[in-house]
Chains A and B, each alone.
Chain A
């Protein structure tokens, strides 16, 4: 498939495709909303947009987090396409995986990526940077390469790029693919991190000056590195990460979000919660808005005539309000309907799907986990501690927002803890 077609399915094969678990929902060519995009109740993105659009002295920095499968990447894409954002900011969206090795990620890698992408994307879009700036950047490049040569004790000539364009193109690649070069460059930047920040700021200033729009850097997949690396970047080097003179949205993992160290910066954090399907401590009461959202999620992907309404309600209940889990239940149920050559997905198909998902959890949860889940279901109290964190990561426990934050077990697990 060369280009994904976001069309409502009228048969099961297509429906299976539409419920792919991590389907990226790119905005249309003119920034219009993707046809599969579903806005969620109390979506915090408008808050974020408001915060970005609000006046400021210093370009804002935000941390963006959310559960697995809740739609973070999709929301970032839609944020970028927002007209207000487009007017005020010069947005640059990239995944850190394109610029660095996420298995071995360092704050210096991220900073270099910010500078590099700002420079390259702007030039690629036809932007012109002042000659003097280019001269200064080249001078800086030369210094960096000299420093690296010093590390080599002058044994070899070292050049990353013939000019600053090539430097920014190749540096990221080398950082990503060549551990030795990565170590050398990090060493150089460590000595002069201010220099690197200055480079970023100079480029950002030049763009702002030319375009009258502030660069807004959206970095996706920063939630992928492990917890220790994430702590080292955003907690230990948090101050440095706040220094670039451009707006930045860093994605962070929900695991980091739940750590104690993150408490200090949680006010700069936006958490994308799951869709609430019932009020706090009232699992038997349906949240109409939540159900409507997920109904809509399903109906843009599959013709309503292909899904029995009771089956759909059951599927929504068992999704826990997580888009990805909704997709999982639907896809599994569709698979079963297809195999039995049925005309539509019925309640048995959904029950079968939820049983399968429940058994998957049964396999990986031990007695202690079951005890914790029982307590969570009774109390709905969210505590960011070491016991709950793994269960949150596994989506055995789901977080919701209702003024305050609370949580409950994944609905498929209710039968397991009874």
Chain B
């Protein structure tokens, strides 16, 4: 039973508001910092959500002191020595240590973490350590009993045992099903109506033993309704009352239901151990009931206790082999532990028994995606969305698949939809950020990552990605705390090692060799195998200041390996953009757009951000809409099965094979290297993953001298001012120039790209895409007036409706910039006419905006 009376006693005695308690901790640390004295503080909490808020609030205030919070999370007994972890930091002066997870530092018979704290307590005092121990109620008790000397050393203990407010609990937390009353998505009004009804019924019930059963049922239902509403105090009260009656009724089954309900409440309050115990109580009373097993499995899964989760779901299935939730739960656990084949089987089982079970379709989609079976994944996610349009996770899945396939426009739409449904979905913001990043739209990426962090401060990925952008921009100082935060959140050894390496590189950039050395050592310690590789790669000098055209013959190949390190650390899909010339400011439209009016300014900026996603890779994506899918699929096929790559027909639009190619500037020439092998395209025996004729030729051109290879007519870019000697119409070479232009475009080398497209047009004036591509560059350079005739020319040359629709859209964008709204409107409508099935959210939004502007 929830000891609410005890909680009430403690809470009543503590009348201080949350902010005041934070202030107490802050003031202690403020004085300790001022006097450079130690501070051993303890904060006891009962809800993870409240703890998280307290953590964030305190950390935020510490920044005003120039102090940063260094998080130490105990994950297992092996890392239970807190003083050792602290001592590994070079400098404690500006750091306050936040320590949590002490319970994981103890096994059932050994209290490693408490012994260690007790034995090393003087370490904290002698080294003037400022530490805040975040303790659950049980941990506080264990600390006092197993480490009484350390307990005596405490300076203050502040309690945060309040229940979380409803808005502190993310909506998706209410995910575990209350199977008896069904899983619904009632509005607050609906819930209130249901509650009111039952309250009336309860009041009207006759007194006496005969009404006990009915009363108990009503109380339990009221408990669950209040739980759904997020009103945990009432939920607790009603559920406990129901439990009391259940004992009186001697009805094990009902009592089990009550415990199940109480467990759900505990779970939402972050009181995990209590929740587990309550589920076990339910199971003990009525082991044949399935929902406690499934709920327990979900809880274990949430706590990453996978073995126990599997066991619980298997138990549920043992009770009922056709229990879709049990199979689904198994699928979730398998998926989380990387056993995707097993996950897919389990999800398929769930679907077999419950074909409309959205969660299983989503899970199946994700399992297929992780196995590289993109088409199957696509189908599964689409099915989920068909059943329930609000299946956010499937929208995210779709977005990822489209991005993997290079279809950034569709990916963008999918992510946007997910965000429409759940504006605070941190994962969706992160995915959108990745998409922006992959297209070089760094401002958009930055904003998206920031949003992701706003909604989930524990996302290692988002901090890392945001850091990558700062690094791209040469803002190394800003990147440092982000990388440190990512390190503190990372729970994968290799990833953490990579982050330390990245941090080392950043420190090197700011000439902080001590910290750099420290960081590299930490990386080496975590991943000794990578140490050798990194040692070699970091020896290559970074030359981030010169743009490609500035590189002279006296300079070596200067695509820096440290940039490669940065690149690798950016977590995204396969189409990772290569590092742009840092001296080149982002040319995304949102930065340059000055044509905004009144309250639509922000919205226009947002739209323009999307535009950058679509248009930045427009040539590659749009010129090979059909080809790209098949060729990329072929490449994926190749990479997963080791088969041969697809050959591209010379008549098809030229594709950008993969935007993750890295351009290295060598002496007077251009060399294309294979994509980043860590992504989806492993290097084949020949040292590159491209089997196409064109790619091979380009790659083979690495050693050629400064003059063109006149035998094949194969062009070599030698810089902006030089041009090849061939001027006759040469279709094949036009395509090559166009392709080269696309590659330059993706690297941000716009001058070179412009030249390449001009060459393509010169060689083949009837190739519509070259005009489109060149127009895109003018667009990015705000030369809107110059872009218009090129789009028009392209429109005249292209025949496919979809292709034309795309160009009409682009033209609409350009005309909008020129304040020619009527003409822009016409262009958009033309696009819709030509391709009504593929009218994007963006297009609709733009029309709506233009409609507003017209007033």
B-binding residues in A (CB < 8 A)? 1, 13, 16-17, 20-22, 68-69, 97, 102-103, 221, 224, 324, 328, 331-332, 335, 338-339, 355-356, 359-360, 362-364, 390, 393-395
Contact A103 B119 (CB under 8 A): yes
Which B residues are in CB contact (< 8 Å) with A332? 156
Taking a contact as CB atoms under 8 Å apart, the answer to whether B137 and A16 are in contact is no
B48 to A: closest C-beta gap in Å = 18
Q: How far is the CB of A104 from chain B (nearest CB, A)?
A: 9
Q: How far is the CA of A17 from the CA of B13 in the complex (A)?
A: 28
Residue ID in chain A nearest B9 by CB atoms: A362
Known: A1-B37, A363-B141, A364-B141. A395 touches B152 (CB 8 A): yes
Q: Within the complex, what minimum Cβ distance (angstroms) separates A332 from chain B?
A: 7
Whether B510 is near chain A, meaning CB under 8 Å from some CB there, is no
Min CB gap B81→A, angstroms = 10
Min CB distance, A105 to chain B, in Å? 10
For residue A416, give the distance in angstroms from its CB to the closest CB of chain B.
Answer: 10
Q: List residues of chain A with CB within 8 A of the CB of B523.
A: none
Given contacts A359-B10, A359-B14, A363-B44, contact A17 B31 (CB under 8 A): yes
The verdict on A22 contacting B125 (CB below 8 Å), with A68-B149, A360-B157, A362-B10 known, is yes
Known contacts being A335-B28, A355-B13, A390-B145, is A97 close to B157, with CB within 8 Å?
no
Contact with A along B9-51 (1 / 0, CB 8 A): 1100110000000011001100100111100000010000000
Bound Cα distance A103, B14 (Å): 38
Q: Once bound together, how far apart are the Cα atoms of A339 and B156, in whole Å?
A: 15
Measured CA separation A364–B122 after assembly (Å): 22
Whether B152 contacts A69 by the Cβ 8 Å rule is yes
Q: Which residues of B contact A16 (CB under 8 A)?
A: 31, 35
Whether B34 and A13, one on each chain, are in contact in the complex, defined by CB atoms closer than 8 angstroms, is yes
Q: Interface SS of chain B: helix, strand, loop or mixed?
A: helix
| B144 and A364 within 8 A (CB) | yes
Are B145 and A359 interface neighbours, CB within 8 A?
no
Q: Is there a chain A Cβ closer than 8 Å to B159's Cβ?
A: yes
Min C-beta distance of A54 to chain B, whole Å: 34
Task: Name the distance in Å between A26's Cβ and chain B's nearest Cβ.
Answer: 15
Closest to A20 in B: B37
B151 interface residue (CB < 8 Å to A): yes
A334 to chain B, nearest CB (A): 10
Interchain residue pairs A-B with the least CB separation, the first 5: A364-B144, A393-B148, A103-B119, A360-B157, A68-B152
When C-beta atoms are compared, the residue in chain B nearest to A68 turns out to be B152
Q: Is the CB of A1 within 8 A of B31?
A: no
Cα–Cα, bound, A332→B24 (Å): 10
User: What are 5 A-B pairs at a CB distance below 8 A?
Assistant: A13-B34, A17-B37, A338-B27, A356-B158, A362-B9
Chain B residues 105-163 with CB under 8 Å of chain A are 119-120, 122, 125, 137, 140-141, 144-145, 148-149, 151-159
Q: Which residues of B contact A363 (CB under 8 A)?
A: 10, 44, 137, 140-141, 144, 157, 159
Residues of B within 8 A of A17 (CB): 31, 35, 37
A84 → chain B closest CB, angstroms? 31
Expressed in whole angstroms, the minimum distance between the Cβ of A258 and any Cβ of chain B is 13
Q: Please, how many angstroms separate the alpha-carbon atoms of A362 and B137 in the complex? A: 11
Looking at the assembled complex, report how far the CB atom of A417 sits from the nearest CB atom of chain B, in whole angstroms.
14
Do B36 and A1 touch (CB < 8 A)?
yes
List the B residue with the shortest CB-CB distance to A335: B27
Report the bound CA distance from A89 to B122 in whole Å: 29
> In the docked arrangement, what's the CA distance between A339 and B149, Å?
29
* Nearest chain B residue, comparing its CB with the CB of A324: B152
Chain B residue at minimal CB-CB distance from A358: B13
* Bound CA–CA A173/B294 (angstroms): 56
Cβ contacts under 8 Å, B153 to chain A: 21-22
Q: When chains A and B are docked, how far (Å) is the Cα of A68 from the Cα of B37?
A: 20
Q: Given A1-B35, A13-B34, A364 and B14 touching (CB < 8 A)?
A: no
The 8 A CB mask of B184-217 against A (1 = contact, 0 = none) is 0000000000000000000000000000000000
Instruction: List 11 other contacts, CB 8 Å, given A359-B13, A359-B14, A364-B141.
Output: A1-B35, A22-B153, A69-B152, A221-B122, A224-B119, A224-B122, A324-B152, A331-B155, A335-B28, A339-B27, A394-B144
In the complex, what distance in Å separates the CA atom of A360 from the CA atom of B152?
Answer: 11
Bound-state CA distance A394–B151 (Å) is: 8
- Expressed in whole angstroms, the Cα–Cα distance for A102 and B153 within the complex equals 18
Given the known interface contacts A363-B141, A394-B151, the answer about A102 and B119 at a Cβ–Cβ threshold of 8 Å is yes
The reply to whether A394 and B148 contact each other, CB–CB distance below 8 Å, is yes
Q: Which residues on the B side are within 8 Å of A356 (C-beta)?
A: 156-158
Q: Considering the complex, give the chain A residue whose CB is closest to the CB of B31.
A: A16
A97 and B140 contact, CB distance less than 8 A: no
B553 to A: closest C-beta gap in Å: 56
Closest to A13 in B: B31
Q: How far is the CA of A307 from the CA of B773 in the complex (A)?
A: 79
Chain B residue numbers with a CB within 8 Å of A324 are 152
Q: How far is the CA of A331 from the CA of B28 in the complex (A)?
A: 10
Q: What separation, in Å, do the CA atoms of A69 and B153 have in the docked complex?
A: 9
By a CB distance below 8 angstroms, the chain B residues around A97 are: 122
- Inter-chain contact A390/B44, CB cutoff 8 Å: no
Contact in complex: A390, B149 (CB < 8 Å): no
- Min distance, Cβ B130 to any Cβ of chain A, angstroms: 13
Chain B residues closer than 8 Å to A331, beta-carbon distance: 155
A102 to B154 alpha-carbon distance, docked (Å) = 21
What chain A residues lie within 8 Å of B148 (beta carbons)?
390, 393-394
Contacting residues, chain A, for B122 (C-beta < 8 A): 97, 221, 224
Contacts of A69 in B (CB 8 A): 152
**Which residue of chain B is the closest to A327 with respect to CB atoms?**
B155
A332–B158 Cα distance when bound, in Å, is: 11
User: Which residues of the partner chain A approach B10 to less than 8 Å between Cβ atoms?
Assistant: 359, 362-363
Inter-chain CA distance A20–B137, complex, in Å, is 26
How far does the Cβ of A17 sit from chain B's closest Cβ, in whole Å? 5
Closest B residue, CB atoms, query A394: B148
Identify B24's interface contact among A21, A328, A339, CB under 8 A.
Answer: A339
CA distance A363 to B140 in the complex (A): 7
A174 nearest CB across to chain B (Å): 19
Interface string of B355-387 (1 = CB under 8 A from A): 000000000000000000000000000000000
Kindly state the separation between the CA atoms of A270 and B43 in the bound complex, as whole angstroms. 37
* Residues from chain A with Cβ under 8 Å of B120 in the complex: 103
Q: Which residue of A lies closest to B151 (CB)?
A: A394
Q: How far is the CA of A167 from the CA of B184 in the complex (A)?
A: 77
The residues of A that contact B119 with a CB separation of less than 8 Å are: 102-103, 224
- Give chain A residues whose Cβ lies under 8 Å from the Cβ of B23: 339
CA distance A410 to B472 in the complex (A): 60
| Neighbouring B residues of A395 by C-beta, 8 Å | 152
The answer, among B24, B125, B140, for a CB contact under 8 Å with A335, is B24
Question: Which chain A positions have C-beta within 8 A of B156?
Answer: 332, 335, 356
How far apart are A159's CB and chain B's nearest CB, in angstroms? Answer: 29
Most chain A CB inside 10 Å of its own CB: which residue of B13, B44, B120, B144: B144
A364 and B149 in contact, given A13-B34, A16-B31 (Cβ under 8 angstroms): no
Most interface-central of A335, A338, A364 (chain B CB within 10 A): A364
Q: What residues of chain A lie closer than 8 Å to B158, measured between beta carbons? A: 356
- Complex contacts, B149 vs chain A, CB 8 Å: 68, 224, 393
When C-beta atoms are compared, the residue in chain B nearest to A391 turns out to be B148
* Shortest distance from the beta carbon of B795 to any chain A beta carbon, whole Å: 70
CA distance A395 to B144 in the complex (A): 11
B145 with A364: CB separation less than 8 A: yes
Question: B residues within 8 A CB of A355?
Answer: 13
Nearest-neighbor residue (CB-CB) of B158 within chain A: A356
Residues of B within 8 A of A339 (CB): 23-24, 27
Q: How far is the CB of B567 from chain A (nearest CB, A)?
A: 42
Closest Cβ of chain A to B33, distance in Å, is 11
**B residues near A390, Cβ cutoff 8 Å:** 145, 148
Cα distance A332–B31 when bound, in Å?
12
Distance in Å from the Cβ of A293 to the closest Cβ of chain B? 21
Contacts of B144 in A (CB 8 A): 363-364, 394
Task: Give the docked Cα–Cα distance between A149 and B27 (Å).
Answer: 57
Q: Which of B455-481 contact A (CB under 8 A)?
A: none
- Complex Cα distance, B31 from A57, in Å, reads 53
- What residues on B are CB-neighbors of A328 within 8 Å? 155
